[in-house]
Amino acid sequence: MSARRTSAAKADAPKGRRIGSYRVALEAKPLGKATRVLGKGLDAHNIAAAGPYKDSAFVVGVRDTKGELRGGFWVEVYYESAFLKWAWVDEKLRGKDLGTALMEMAETESRRRGAVNLWLDTFSFQARPFYEKLGYKVFGTLKMGRPGVERYWLVKDIRGDA
């Protein structure tokens, strides 16, 4: 585990409980079978409610002359909307318009895949001014449990002349 990330000790975890013949508890391996079952159930519900959709994911990256990945954006597209899941550019490369180039390419590829908007979230200590400079608008704010730390959700219509 990274020194930057911490997790609650097992002793702190809730024990779970029974409701009728069902047991509610933390799953031992949340990224395995449990997430596949949850995803399949949610997908079936969504399709029944809103119809079928195409989903896809892509990464737009920045590589140096040695071929090392030095930054990039991971984007998921579904229901005609693109979500910028992860964005990172090496600190040494910031301020060189690489982030703008990444965003332009992410928007173009999202549009090509049928998205009409691109949305993302960022923390107050991350890149909100960068996204706003590119035309993204805040549509949600969450005050976190730490003083001075907030999380923002932003969106941009990427249809072109819209």
Place of tokens 């920045």: 62
The answer to whether 73 touches 86, Cβ cutoff 8 Å, is: yes
Residue 117 bridge partners (DSSP): 81, 157
Q: Hey, CA dihedral for 6, 32, 28, 22, is it positive or negative?
A: positive
pLDDT of the residue at 10? 57
pLDDT (average), residues 106-118: 97
Q: What whole-number distance in Å separates Cα of residue 7 and Cα of residue 133?
A: 35
Query: What is the pLDDT at residue 3?
Result: 54
Ordered by start, the domain boundaries in the chain are 18-50, 56-157
Q: Name the band, by pLDDT with cuts 50, 70 and 90, for residue 47.
A: very high
CB 62 within 8 A of CB 100: no
pLDDT of residue 8: 54
| Cβ(155)–Cβ(135) below 8 Å | no
pLDDT band at 11, cuts 50/70/90?
low
Is the pLDDT at 160 greater than 60? The verdict is yes
Q: According to the CATH classification, is domain 56-157 in 3.40.630.30?
A: yes
Average pLDDT, integer, range 126-154 = 96
- The pTM for the full model equals 0.82
Report the alpha-carbon angle 53-137-60, nearest 5: 55
> Taking 90 as the threshold, does the pLDDT of residue 32 lie above it?
no
